[in-house]
Structure 1
């Protein structure tokens, strides 16, 4: 992989056979696969931010193998098994890259807990078990004491452990994947696209870096831009950008670890989707994720994090009253793309323009495999997995315009928060 220095951008026009826009998990997988399938072609990988700075580096570090949340409500076992095959291949691919490139990202096949607090959560958990049995996936039921032995808190009445999920550090993983890309990939990160149009011989893009603009031309484009796809003129008013928030402590010292009393290296997601995600990392940090907001402008300003951080503190202190004194080391948000009909888009969205987006909150696995398969489709390949991807994808439904969309999303989020208040 080549990285073009900012000083060399001036007066430069670069021509590439392929350009991938978006260097998150989807774009990284797409660029890698394009380079592998077309070793004599040149591939540009472009991102507005440095690798690891966007949503892919801001998740909570779960690579989930199972169909997620609303997908499990499907009565179609063929669809569920297709999603399962896609996710498992994504995990296998990522694990292979981590091993081959020696990526230090705390990669761990620890599985995942799904925890419940009160009756609403336990009811959701029973539905989760029924869905697992429907597709023949293994699980282990844990009672309050067993959950406490792992998590160090008696806050949860029980949990389901599933073994296929992988935990990792998302920033280190994305940056490691970028550093290990094939040599025929050129990375332009920290370079927002300010203009995109079709010419007589392909596409032209204007990129900007540190106040300098330069041109890039390309024959084919793969848009791995998730919620930002709308800014390129595609899927307009079909993606709902929602921002999720997390806070993480500094590493616990020895005395705090004794007071904590649980294990290292586990992750828990809530049985009720409005609840709290919890993690203990390998380096002794506890992470709390809850609170959601409509991200009409794709983000929030730092002062807006103060009430979010307060809610995280409340959730943390309820679970770990003996660790009330432990401060949060950082708080952040990340934008994900949702659709009102819960589907993802995959395919050729215009001639020589390919897109995978709207992964509905499970972008690590779904993004990774869809990026790889998008490159295969654009390169004229076919496979069983590609057929699976087309089968489980569709067009996100049309949204009402703002301000009605924002008002509706925020109202729905407030209702979900009220319904799930005992699980937070």
Structure 2
């Protein structure tokens, strides 16, 4: 018996990531001939979908796999993030009292980083892979208090770290703006757009990618799922698959699942041009570092390997999955002021791009992983830790669907849960807007 048919909303044609020039963000593959039937259909060619496709090349090389995305690889959150591969539990996970749960998350993250490192080396993906660790920083008393909680969590799981004072921060970042930071050595910094596009160009032989094919209708059956794909020019193809992985994160609700449990949230980032030789002479810090805020409502900051500054803060509800152009202009001004406060010696350093990136949150901070319907699998609500969690989720969704048991699969199931039911609109939008404004006000000293 066929289930309901859904017409998913497509990712909007808003301003894309600023990591690379816009003319580089074109489809990786538009030439493969789409057949009527597949063993696997993967919807979404971000880090989750790409990782699932890579895994299918390892464990099911005889199966036919179709990987589709409505937009070019890197258009979505996997190309819009700040480029951290985090090895440690992050933000809300750290509040959990169970040390064994934190260790499971850490093990999953480190395994994902290890696999990505092997792929980057194997395929020669030039994505500024930098094993330089990260800082978790604080500006004032609110942030330093949260730094202390972070250290307590690290002590609980036996992880090493170094606490830096204002001068220690300045030696790395070239700014006296931060009162302190906690340095942990295991995170990796990357150019996320180059990473995912590099993976997309090196998919296994049994995987066909079409990152110009939009799913415009989707339905599941007791045996196979069906999807109608729309190609450029308006032509359509209908495909069926024995198993489906929805690597669609906030868009999963568009396919009929998690409809009242996913909160699409947008965060905003800006990036500058590379520092000139004269500016590098005035800059007193190191190159190639990254800082996340001790306060979840604070500011993420990076100095990239090629000498660009990236700043990320401000949040909003994104029911339409996009940023308003006029608001982006305001955010750019706020980000410019934030950089000038931190780096006055760099003067009027121009921002070359400001963009929004949509992630999915859950009301109870739970991440979903599993089978949503017979032979339809997904992972959702990464709560801002999408690159490492997405990489591990994609691979392990394949293992779950293929019946391949492992300790890693047991771990990801153990640390996942069921996102809570969200209230309907207009109560949801009003409540989320009010809550985010409150968080921004409480975190104003850390911006």
> Structure 1 length normalisation: TM-score?
0.97
Measured in 2, the distance between the counterparts of 1:199 and 1:230 equals 18
Judged with a 3 Å threshold, the aligned counterparts in structure 2 of structure 1 residues 371 and 200 are, in CA distance, closer, same or farther, namely closer
Q: SS at the partner of 1:422?
A: helix
Aligned residue in 1 for 2:219 = 197
Unaligned runs of 5+ in 2: 1-26
Match of 2:30 in 1: 5
- Contact 1:226–1:356 (CA under 8 A) maintained in structure 2: yes
Matching of residue 312 in structure 1 with residue 326 in structure 2:
no
2:391 corresponds in structure 1 to: 368
Is 1:118 matched up with 2:118?
no
Q: Quote how far apart the aligned CAs of 1:30 are.
A: 0.8
Between the aligned partners of 1:242 and 1:236, the Cα distance in structure 2 is 15
Counterpart CA distance in 1 for 2:163 and 2:28 is 48
- The match for 2:67 is 45
Cα distance in 2 for partners of 1:140, 1:14 equals 56
Query: Does residue 355 in structure 1 map to residue 387 in structure 2?
Result: no
Whether 1:244 and 2:267 are equivalent positions in the alignment is yes
Shift of 1:13: 4.4
Give runs of aligned pairs for residues 293-308 of structure 1, distance below 5 A: 293-308=316-331
- Indicate the residue corresponding to 1:135 in structure 2: 157
Verify the 8 A CA contact 1:3 1:186 in the aligned structure 2: no
Distance 1:125 1:133 in 2: 12
The unaligned stretches of length 5 or more in structure 1 are none
Corresponding residue of 2:20:
none
Superposition pairs for residues 371-382 of structure 1, below 5 Å? 371-382=394-405
Which residue does 2:417 correspond to in 1?
394
Q: Is 1:13–1:217's contact at 8 Å kept on the other side of the alignment?
A: no
Report if aligned partners of 1:34, 1:379 keep a CA contact under 8 Å in 2.
no
The range that moved more, 194-203 or 26-35, is 194-203
Contact preservation (8 Å) 1:31, 1:43? yes
SS of 2:126 mapped into structure 1: coil
How has the CA–CA distance of structure 1 residues 313 and 3 changed in structure 2, closer, same or farther, with 3 Å as cutoff? closer
Write the distance in 1 (CA, Å) between the matches of 2:35 and 2:424.
Answer: 38
Structure 2 counterpart SS, 1:5: coil
List, as ranges, runs of 4+ consecutive aligned residues in structure 1 with deviation greater than 2 Å.
2-6, 198-201, 301-304
Q: Is the 8 A contact 2:361 2:381 kept in 1?
A: yes
Displacement of 1:322 after TM fit?
2.0
C-alpha spacing 1:302/1:377, structure 2 compared with 1 (3 Å): same
Closer, same or farther: CA 143–3 of 1 in aligned 2, 3 Å: closer
Distance 1:259 1:219 in 2: 59
Match of 2:10 in 1: none
Return the alpha-carbon distance in structure 1 between the equivalents of residues 162 and 413 of structure 2. 32
Deviations 1:155-194 (A, max 9, x none): 0011110001000000000001111110100001122100
In 1, Cα distance between equivalents of 2:344 and 2:388: 34
Paired residues of 1:20 and 1:27 also in contact (CA < 8 A) = yes
Task: Say which of 284, 289, 310 aligns to 1:261.
Answer: 284
Cα deviation 1:111-134 (Å, max 9, x = unaligned): 000111110010000010011000
Q: CA deviation at 1:70?
A: 1.1
Q: Where in structure 2 are the equivalents of 1:3-402 lying within 5 Å?
A: 5=30, 13-199=35-221, 202-210=224-232, 211-402=234-425
- RMSD over aligned CA atoms reads 1.4
